[in-house]
Amino acid sequence: FFFHSCVSNRFIAKPCALGLKVQANGPQKAQPNAILEKVFTAITKHPDEKRLEGLSKQLDWDVRSIQRWFRQRRNQEKPSTLTKFCESMWRFTFYLYIFTYGVRFLKKTPWLWNTRQCWNGYPYQPLMPDLHYYYIVELSFYWSLMFSQFIDIKRKDFGIMFTHHIVTITLITFSYVTNLTRVGTLTLCLHDAADVVLEAAKMANYCKCQKLSDLLFLTFAIVFIVSRLGIYPLWILNTTLFELYEALGNFPALWVFNVLLVILQILHCFWSYLIIKAAYKAISKGKVAKDDRSDIESSSDEEETVPRSKTPHSTVTTNGTSGANGTNGYLTGGTCSEEH
């Protein structure tokens, strides 16, 4: 998957992004400052109040300007819009392919419309080649996400996403080993539906197609809530909690499997809260609000573009940076939701 991602990004996604005039530049760079750079690289990227006050006296900057410099310096290491577009396009392509494959596969199975068929003949159910392929591809993809999250941007919900990947990989592996693959295919296909729309919304946002991005995000919100708070508990959890018990009785794998599925549902509730919150802002303000877990840090004073010297009208140069020509203002991120 890593190889395919690199090839796709370089030879398909990047030319498409450039053709759509997606910006290749990243967040605005912080103005060079040897003292602040040394603190940033050698001591801390998030200085506390005491250190900020010390730097303020040393540089003759106010605390707010130094905070802004550190925010800008942290954002400087974030990927460009072009890089994020390529990543979203790769994920969109995968989700669209695997969701289409899942739908075509499940249309031929008896358990799509009758979940009790998931347990007929269990555990002596043959492992069909199409089902095996479906499982291996999905498991490989989630393992790639598991490893890549440590080198990608660490967002605010890193812990939640880490938990999600652990639960998902454990569920796929456990259901494969215990031959609970029929209900597993239903779960996989159901989850892929919303992810397709989300990645499309992100690509539209990176292309600055705001109306299309807003429409896709609201569509994603509806699909996500209906599928994960409606169909998932009424269709998946119902058959694993009740129909499975009625058909086969009590056995250890049943409880392990259901605990993992319930944890997944708790994560769905958390993300649904964030999505509803963003959708509410979209409706009330006329556009999709910035996601709470955005990878670009924000500032309430972002309109101020230069650090203010503690001494009014000061022209004293400190470390090559004058009070009048201090650090540039903070560059805010985009408006659309990132991957929930």
Distances (CA, A) of 193 to 161, 186, 187, 204, 228: 18, 11, 11, 18, 10
What pLDDT score does 302 carry?
42
What pLDDT score does 145 carry?
85
Phi, psi of 88 (to 5 degrees): -65, -35
Provide CB contacts within 8 A for 30, sequence distance 6+: 36, 69, 72, 73, 76, 327, 328
Phi, psi of 216 (to 5 degrees): -65, -35
Phi, psi of 200 (to 5 degrees): -65, -40
β-bridge mates for residue 309, sequence order: 61
Distances (CA, A) of 213 to 220, 232, 286, 295: 10, 26, 12, 18
What pLDDT score does 334 carry?
37
Cα(88)–Cα(179) distance, integer angstroms: 33
pLDDT in tens, the chain (340 residues): 545 555 555 556 556 665 666 666 666 677 788 888 888 888 888 888 888 888 888 888 888 888 888 888 777 767 777 788 888 888 999 999 999 999 999 999 999 999 999 999 998 999 999 999 999 999 999 998 888 777 665 666 677 788 888 989 999 999 999 999 999 999 999 999 999 999 999 999 888 888 899 899 999 999 999 999 999 999 999 999 999 999 988 888 899 999 999 999 999 999 999 999 888 887 777 655 444 444 444 444 443 444 444 544 333 333 333 333 333 332 233 334 344 3
Helix (H, G, I), strand (E, B) or coil at 155: coil
Cα(228)–Cα(167) distance, integer angstroms: 16
Cα(77)–Cα(27) distance, integer angstroms: 8
Cα(126)–Cα(110) distance, integer angstroms: 14
The two structure tokens encoding residue 66? 């130094």
The two structure tokens encoding residue 28? 């605005």
Question: Amino acid identity of 117?
Answer: Q
What pLDDT score does 333 carry?
35
For domain 28-77, which CATH number applies: 1.10.357.10, 1.10.10.60, 3.90.1150.10, 3.30.70.360? 1.10.10.60
Neighbours of 265 (CB within 10 A): 15
The two structure tokens encoding residue 329? 């203002």
For the chain, what are the domain ranges?
Answer: 28-77, 81-286
**Model-level pTM?**
0.72
Comparing CA positions, the residue from 182, 219, 228, 181 lying closest to residue 200 is 219
Strands 317-318 and 321-322: antiparallel
